[in-house]
Amino acid sequence: MKVKINQRLLALATFIDDGDHLIDVGCDHALLDIYLAQNRKDLRIIASDAKEGPLKQATENVKKYQLQAKITLKLGNGIEPIEEDIDTIVISGMGGALMVGILKYQTPRLKRVKKIILSPNNDVEFVRKEIVKLGYKIERETLVLDHNFIYPIIEFTKGKKRYSKKEYLFGPLLLQEKAPLFITYLTKQKEVTEQLLAILPKKYIKRRFQLKQKLKMLNTILSPYKKKVGPLSSIVG
Ligand SMILES: C[S@@+](CC[C@H](N)C(=O)[O-])C[C@H]1O[C@@H](n2cnc3c(N)ncnc32)[C@H](O)[C@@H]1O
C-alpha cells in the first residue's frame, strides 16, 4: 500500500536523492520517511523526534506500511540521534530559530553532513544567514503552496558563498527565478510590512528603518508585476 502525503511533504521529498543517508529531525508521523522509503532507492533513513507521543505514532505508521527494515526510529533531541554514516539532514515544520539552535549548538555532529534541507515556518532570513555561517551555501530553493500557506524549502550544501542582504531576505535562487508563487509571496510580504509600519510607534527607530528598507526592496522587485494576491490566510516571513 502506497502512502499519500500532502503537497508540502511531496515538495520536500523532491530534495532527497537515491542513495542519501538521512535523518529526519522532528519526524512526527514519519509520513515523509515512509514516502521516501517507498519511492527512492538505496536510502538509509533515521526518523527521530524529541517527544514520545509523535515517535509512537511514527512507529505505528512504519509498522502499518511494513517498513521497519528501511526506517530506524529514534527518540532524541535535535541531531543527537545522528549516526556516523548520515550525510543529509531534513528538518521541516518548526520555527526557524529552533532549527538553527538544533544545528548550531551541535556542530561537531555536522562533520559528515553534506546536505541540509530546511523548511522553516518563520524567520527564513535568519535561517539562511546562520546556516551559511556554519559553512554551507544555498544550493536549491523552492516555495510550495499547501492549504493556503506558502512554505519555503531550502537545500544547503557544504561550501562557502557570500550573499547580499536582499538575497538573505528573499532567497538568492528564488530572486533569480522569480516564479509566480514567489511574486505572490512577496506581494503578501509587502502588505504585511506596510501594515506593521502603520502600527509600529515612531520610537522603534531601528525596527522602522529595517522595515522601510525591506519595503523599498520589495517595491523594486515587484515593480514589473501588477499581480493581485488571492486570499492567502497567512505566509511565512
Ligand atoms: C509540526 S511537527 C513537524 C513534523 C514533520 N517534520 C512535518 O514537516 O510535517 C514538529 C515535530 O518536531 C518535534 N520537535 C520539536 N522540537 C524538537 C527537537 N528539538 N528535536 C527533535 N524533534 C523536535 C515535535 O515533537 C514534532 O513532532
Do residues 89 and 140 share a domain?
yes
Q: Among 150, 126, 153, 149, which residue's Cα sits nearest to residue 139?
A: 153
How many structural domains is the chain composed of? Answer: 2
- Is 1 inside any structural domain? no
Looking at per-residue confidence, does 58 or 229 come out higher? 58
Do residues 158 and 196 share a domain?
no
The atom of ligand 1 lying closest to the CA of 102 is 19
| Residue whose entry in the numeric block shows the C-alpha cell 508585476 | 225
Do residues 103 and 204 share a domain?
no
CA of residue 100 to ligand 1 center, whole Å: 13
- Is 131 inside any structural domain? yes
CA of residue 25 to ligand 1 center, whole Å: 7
Looking at per-residue confidence, does 169 or 237 come out higher? 169
Do residues 184 and 158 share a domain?
no
Read off the pTM.
Answer: 0.94
Q: Is residue 229's pLDDT more than 70?
A: no
Do residues 212 and 140 share a domain?
no
Pocket of ligand 1 (CB under 6 A): 25-28, 49-51, 54, 77-78, 92-94, 98, 102
- Is 203 inside any structural domain? yes
**How far is it, in rounded angstroms, from Cα 51 to Cα 6?**
23
Three-state SS annotation for 196-214: HHHHCCCCCHHHHHHHHHH
CA of residue 93 to ligand 1 center, whole Å: 7
- Is 108 inside any structural domain? yes
Do residues 135 and 35 share a domain?
yes
Q: Check if the beta carbon of residue 91 is closer than 8 Å to that of residue 100.
A: no
**How far is it, in rounded angstroms, from Cα 126 to Cα 130?**
6
CATH number of the domain residue 108 falls in = 3.40.50.150
Structural domain harbouring 197: 180-235
- Is 102 inside any structural domain? yes
Do residues 45 and 154 share a domain?
yes
Do residues 27 and 131 share a domain?
yes
Task: Please state the rounded mean pLDDT for residues 163-174.
Answer: 97
Q: What residue's CA is closest to ligand 1, atom 1?
A: 93
Q: Is 101 helix (H, G, I), strand (E, B) or coil?
A: helix
Task: Please state the rounded mean pLDDT for residues 120-140.
Answer: 97
pLDDT in tens, 52-90: 999 999 999 999 999 999 999 999 999 999 999 999 999
pLDDT in tens, 89-129: 999 999 999 999 999 998 999 999 999 999 999 999 999 99
Best probe residue, ligand 1, of 49, 104, 153 (max atoms within 8 Å of C-beta)? 49
Do residues 152 and 185 share a domain?
no
The atom of ligand 1 lying closest to the CA of 78 is 20
| pLDDT given for residue 226 in this prediction | 72
Best probe residue, ligand 1, of 94, 106, 119 (max atoms within 8 Å of C-beta)? 94
Do residues 28 and 86 share a domain?
yes
| pLDDT given for residue 230 in this prediction | 56
- Is 185 inside any structural domain? yes
Do residues 126 and 189 share a domain?
no
